[in-house]
Structure 1
Amino acid sequence: MSQDASFEDGREAPLNLGALDVGDLTVISSLTQDAVFPASEMRWHRAGSRFALLVNRVRWEDKGLTRHAPERVQSVLMFNTVQSVASQGVPKGDADTILSLLQISFEETEAPSGFVTLTLAGDGAIRLEVEALDITVKDVTKPYAAPSKKLPQHKD
């Protein structure tokens, strides 16, 4: 007699997702919610029109939480077609400051252009002026146990 495969029999693959519209961006925003990163891990490549972050994101998609502690994974969050970058509440000159990403949103100006806003904990924000939505998130390390051994909590 044969049995159906269970989730435990499979393997969880690293994320490698792209966003070209607001619906896609909603998925990436939810998967990167509560990602943390030092300010030193932000780069704007003006000549290449790219803005990149190396983040430690919570593996919200992990279905194995009943088997192990919550996990994080390092991921590259890449924004393409970036024309300008502005920030508020992000300390300048302190590369060791740890920032926490709460949400990524898009405000269209003249289609397909607009502003991507990365809302940070503590009233910080990074605003990217883009020619069009073109965002990727790609896991670049193996998952590791979250140091806190807990999932982040938010007050309603």
Structure 2
Amino acid sequence: MSGMLKLMAEDEADLDIIGAAVQDALVRVGEISVDRKARRFTAMLNRFRWESAGERGPYERVRAALSFDGVMGVKSKRVRQDIDDALASVLSVTFEADAEPPSGTVRIVLAGGGEIAVAVECLDAVLVDIGPVWPTPRRPDHERG
């Protein structure tokens, strides 16, 4: 499986790269977890492979894991936690430093107005493709009015 991504982020610029890689990823609510003992947030994604998508395809998705360590708390709004199969599309992943860095909040914004806020001691993120890769019929559309 060539071209599998493994990215790490310890600052906002690094996280911007991860954010671009996970844009339009699909995530099921039941595949988001918080391990309070390990203080880790993990989301299993079906990531659109922007890095290999030309204008006309072929287009692919890949199974990937996005995780944050040093988690102090997680809050969400407008996320259907009662339906494990509820599917959401990731619009952006950003970091807002607290008044006293390196702590801050990672904001995962979902299509439809949902948001997950992950409070972290410091930015410590990993995105890793875990396979498999499969074809997808279309490229996500970003028409903005």
Do the structures match in fold with TM over 0.5?
yes
Which of the pair has more CA radius of gyration? 1
Matched, 1:123 2:110: no
SS of residue matched to 1:140? strand
Map of 1:150 onto structure 2:
138
> In the alignment, residue 50 of structure 1 is paired with which amino acid?
R
TM-score by length of 2: 0.94
Residues 28-75 of structure 1 show CA distances to partners (whole Å, capped at 9, x for unaligned) of 000000000111100100110100011000001115x47852000000
SS of residue matched to 2:115? strand
After TM superposition, where is structure 1 displaced by more than 4 Å over at least 4 residues in a row? none
Partners of 1:66 and 1:50 in 2: how far apart? 36
**Aligned-residue RMSD, C-alpha:** 1.5
Choose from 58, 74, 84 the match for 1:85. 74
Matched, 1:94 2:83: yes
Bigger mean CA offset, 68-77 vs 124-133 = 68-77
SS of residue matched to 1:86? strand
Matched, 1:75 2:64: yes
TM-score by length of 1: 0.87
Choose from 85, 92, 95 the match for 1:103. 92
Map of 1:3 onto structure 2:
none
Task: Judging by fraction of residues, say which structure has more strand.
Answer: 2
Matched, 1:31 2:27: no
Partners of 1:48 and 1:105 in 2: how far apart? 22
Q: Return 5+ residue gaps in structure 1 as ranges.
A: 1-10
Map of 1:8 onto structure 2:
none
SS of residue matched to 1:31? helix
Residues 58-113 of structure 1 show CA distances to partners (whole Å, capped at 9, x for unaligned) of 001115x4785200000000111110000000012110100111100111001100
Partners of 2:75 and 2:130 in 1: how far apart? 26
Partners of 1:12 and 1:60 in 2: how far apart? 15
Cα deviation for residue 12 of structure 1 reads 3.6
